[in-house]
Structure 1
Amino acid sequence: MAEGASEGQEKTEDPTQKRLEKAKEDGQVASSKELFVFSTLLVGLLLYIGLMPLMPSLLQEWSSLFSFAGQKGVMDEIYRNLGASFQFMFWKSVIFAIPLLIIVILTQMGMSGAINWSSSALAFKPNRINPLSGIKRMFSVKALVEMLKAIGKVTLLIGTALLVFMATIDALFTTPSTHLMGGLSRMGDVFLLLIIVFLLVLAAISVFDVIWSHYQHNEQLRMTLQEVKDESKQTEGSPEVKAKIRRMQMTAVSRAKERKAAMEAVPTATAIITNPTHFAVALKYEVGTEGAPMILAMGRGNQAQEIIEIGKDAGVTIFRNELLARALYFAGQIGDEIPGPLYTAVAAVLAFIYRLNNDEQVDPPDVDLPEDMRFDENGKVIS
């Protein structure tokens, strides 16, 4: 559904962190061939310069492999020297291979931020052997850019090589008293200069290629606005659901605050109406004031027990009447005046409590409620 919704939309949004991580898992990371060429050539040059003092001994060891005494048979010596030459080439190659391998790994880490091993990148992809897909890749913008990069690189390297040779040709062929070893030494100097110039050119090309690779990688991973929204829904949930959860959380917090404030107001109540324990409603009324009694707190079950305990500790009079307690609980609201149909019943109860608190001997009143104010424990009107 998400794919269909995003069809026809332009990919204008930068890739999200989840999209970047998914691409990295699939082996799709920014990479620069030119940076690899520059770094390996630089390390190779440094190794060459560092191993220059060892060259005479290496050449001597190499030349010894072509010396045959013939005392134990020429063929035996040939086979022995051949095996020794393979070992010589192998271990000397390792000296160059290990540093180059390390610099390749470090170069990729510099490009992608970490070593990335992806098994999915090694998986078989049928489109790679599809001729139509191959032709499409050959004539793509990426292929055109790669071709232009290759032409530009070759042009720059050939041009710089010609400039170096033109600048040093006089020193190579016109120096007085030129001899073989002196000529070879000067050619070595020119070769070293040429490598250094190549490195400078490749460094400039690498900077361009790294910038282009990161730009191209980012463009390939760009997302449509719908894809960003769908991903947000998958990771964080639907905005509608999140809004509903926030509303429920805010309501719960608000109710908790109201309940706390109501419980703190219970000690100031005039009376607590119970039935006798399942429901409890705390009322407040001051004689001579305008308006009806106000509901300070109410609850059922454990909350009702808490209201009763707080009221007892504060010396609040508790009046037990099952129907009145239910009517106040189901028809009233905390912080509001009691419902109008209950004025008469509550007034009778408060008058009884007032006289009781004044040490008068009075009988409990007969509380009569309207038919529509008689509730059962579930809040349904008793018929």
Structure 2
Amino acid sequence: MAEENQDSQEKTEEPSQRKLEKAREDGKVVSSKEMFVFTSLAAGLMMGIASIALGPQPLINWGGLFTLDASTHIDSLIFAHMDYALWFLVQVTVVFGLPIMIVTILTQIGVGGIVFAPKALSFKGSRISPIAGLKRMFSMKALVELGKSILKVVFLFGIGFVVIVYFMPGIIWFPNGTMANALDMMTSLIPMLIGGLLIGLLIIAALDFAWQRYDFMKQMRMSRQDQKDEFKQTEGSPEVKAKIRRMQMEASANASQQREALDKVSEATAIITNPTHFAVALKYEVGSAGAPTVLALGRGVMAEQIIERANKAEVTVFQSPLLARALFFTSEIGGEISEALYNAVAVVLAYIYRVDQDGVADRPEVDVPHDLRFSENGQLLKE
């Protein structure tokens, strides 16, 4: 019995939307540190490249703050250039820091979304407990993070090693070459090295994101008992009860309307069918100024019941799939048929009147407008 109870508590079911929302309220969302590292470095590199377009003037101005001559007094230099130095630092911080901060926020939005969870900011004794800290240090999660860090270092070192080996012949000839040759090689080596490391970081970030999402969803899994308990809590909420009552009332109203419609089938002039999937009962009085009205309509079981009632009441049943579907998807019980279907319905009614009077008549061709030709799923048919 103990084993069966333990098996029943195994968390093998996917988390419900309610549990995921509750986790967000507690500040638990998918997050990837490696993704932040990649996007931040990429953004910083792009800002560095973009700053080259500004030219060397900002650096020249900054260097000028520290240019001294024999007549310059240190005290006067500090007060003379303090304002400009602080303003320069503010500019650099805004120009470089703001884009990186925006990229970091966008990264979290893309990875797991941003939530403000006061519960996550509340004080917990376990956060400052030495015992709890030791448990976290030697937990499986900590070992996994350590393994990931080692693999990341090895992977990035391997990329750097491959790039260096590729340029090794040129590096060996550094002492024998000119400064121009050295600069030419460095302009190729450094971009390739940085590009290779960025690609490596991108691969690491993608793998880390996939792992973090898998680990998060695994932690959010539910046992069947958890699902039952959540269902009981959800079902007991006033909103759900009100929704259930509303759905029950709508179902009851639809059932009542269908019963009343079936009772009026015997009064119909004709039944247009598909031949069994759809059925529409029409009534029209000769000489009436109004259009034919829909007494009943239905599909599936309801259509079969309409046809059965019509046969018992000896109401003529006319098979026209296109017209039956057009009437079903454009009409309502108790309402008139669509004006676009007047001609098609008139042809059918005229045929029925001739059959009733003469006992026989040539079956007519019913032309349904192209924009009212529906499939059984209610989608317009292509010409």
Alpha-carbon contact 2:44-2:100 (below 8 Å) kept: yes
| CA positional deviation for 1:29 | 0.4
Q: What do residues 288-344 of structure 1 show as CA deviations (whole Å, max 9, x unaligned)? A: xxxxxxxxxxxxxxxxxxxxxxxxxxxxxxxxxxxxxxxxxxxxxxxxxxxxxxxxx
CA deviation after TM superposition for structure 1 residue 171, in Å: 2.5
- State the one-letter code of the partner of 2:143: L
- Following TM superposition, by how much is the alpha carbon of 1:6 offset from its aligned partner in structure 2, in angstroms? 9.0
* TM-superposed deviation, 1:251: 12
Distance 2:86 2:250 in 1: 78
Report the Cα offset of residue 125 of structure 1. 1.4
Closer/same/farther in 2, CA of residues 6 and 251 from structure 1, 3 Å limit: farther
Instruction: Please tell me whether Structure 1 or Structure 2 has the larger radius of gyration of its CA atoms.
Output: 1
Answer yes or no: is the 8 Å Cα contact 2:8–2:223 preserved in 1: no
CA displacement at 1:245 relative to structure 2? 7.5
Judge conservation of contact 1:66–1:81 (CA < 8 Å) in 2: no
Superposed CA RMSD: 3.6
Q: How far is the alpha carbon of 1:67 from its aligned partner?
A: 2.2
Quickly say closer, same or farther: Cα 1:70–1:80, change in 2 above 3 A.
Answer: farther
Q: Are 1:172 and 1:187, in contact at CA under 8 Å, matched by a contact in 2?
A: no
Corresponding residue number in structure 1 for 2:60: 60
- Give the distance between the partners of 1:171 and 1:164, measured in 2 at CA: 12
Contact 1:35 1:209 in 2 (8 A): yes
2:51 is matched with 51
Looking at structure 1, the residues matched to 84 and 251 of structure 2 have their Cα atoms a distance apart, in angstroms, of: 85
> Offset of 1:25 from its aligned partner?
1.1
Aligned to 1:231: 230
d(CA) in 2 for partners of 1:191 and 1:251? 71
State the match for 2:197 in structure 1: 198
Does the 8 Å contact 2:8/2:225 carry over to 1? no
Q: CA 1:36–1:245 in structure 2 vs 1: closer, same or farther (change >3 Å)?
A: closer
CA-CA distance at 1:260 after TM superposition = 7.8
Identity of aligned residues (%): 38
In structure 1, what is the Cα distance between the partners aligned to 2:15 and 2:38?
Answer: 29
Q: How does the TM-score come out when normalised to structure 2?
A: 0.58
Query: 176-185 vs 8-17, which deviates more?
Result: 176-185
Query: For residues 8 and 137 of structure 1, do their structure 2 counterparts lie closer, same or farther at Cα, with a shift above 3 Å needed?
Result: farther
Residue equivalent to 2:26: 26
SS at match of 2:53: helix
Q: Which residue of 2 aligns with 1:37?
A: 37
User: Structure 1 residues 82 and 164, CA, compared in 2 at 3 Å: closer, same or farther?
Assistant: farther
Number of the residue aligned with 1:149 = 148
Q: CA deviation at 1:87?
A: 2.7
Aligned to 2:300: none
Letter in 1 for 2:157: I
Greater alpha carbon shift after TM alignment, 184-193 vs 96-105: 184-193
Equivalent residue runs for 1:300-319 within 5 Å: none
Tell whether the 8 Å contact from 1:156 to 1:201 is kept in structure 2 after alignment: yes
* Corresponding residue for residue 16 of structure 1: 16
Contact 1:34 1:206 in 2 (8 A): yes
* Counterpart contact for 1:23–1:29, Cα < 8 Å: yes
Aligned to 1:169: 168
Q: 1:217 to 1:252 in 2, by over 3 A?
A: closer
Displacement after TM superposition at 1:77 (Å): 1.4
Change (3 A) 1:6 1:232: farther
Q: TM-score, normalised by structure 1?
A: 0.58
Q: In terms of mean alpha carbon deviation, does 136-145 or 197-206 score higher?
A: 136-145
* Shift in Å, 1:99: 0.6
> Residue 83 and residue 186 in structure 1: after superposition, are their counterparts in 2 closer, same or farther (change >3 A)?
farther
What is the deviation of 1:12?
Answer: 1.2
Q: Specify the alignment match of 1:80 in structure 2.
A: 80
Q: Which residue of 1 aligns with 2:299?
A: none
Code of the aligned partner of 2:44: G
Q: Which residue of 1 aligns with 2:297?
A: none
Alignment of 1:136 onto 2:135? yes
Aligned-partner Cα distance in 1 for 2:78–2:43? 35
Corresponding residue SS for 1:15? coil
1:107 and 2:107 aligned: yes
Instruction: Give the whole-Å Cα distance in 1 for the aligned partners of 2:61 and 2:95.
Output: 16
- Secondary structure class of the residue paired with 2:167: helix
> Residue 84 of structure 2 aligns to which amino acid in structure 1?
A
The structure-2 alpha-carbon separation of the partners of 1:190 and 1:85, relative to structure 1 and needing over 3 Å to count, comes to farther
The 2-side partners of 1:52 and 1:80 are apart by 28
CA contact (8 A) 1:9 1:224 kept: yes
Question: Partners in 1 of 2:139 and 2:102 — Cα distance?
Answer: 33
Q: Is the 8 A contact 2:31 2:108 kept in 1?
A: yes
Question: Counterpart amino acid of 1:122?
Answer: L
Deviations 1:99-134 (A, max 9, x none): 10011011001111x322222211111111222222
Q: Which residue of 2 aligns with 1:212?
A: 211
- Name the structure 2 match of 1:308: none
Specify the alignment match of 2:120 in structure 1.
121
- Unaligned runs of 5+ residues in structure 1 are 265-383
Distance 1:250 1:211, change over 3 A: closer
Aligned pair in 2 of structure 1 residues 256, 168: CA closer, same or farther (>3 Å)?
A: closer
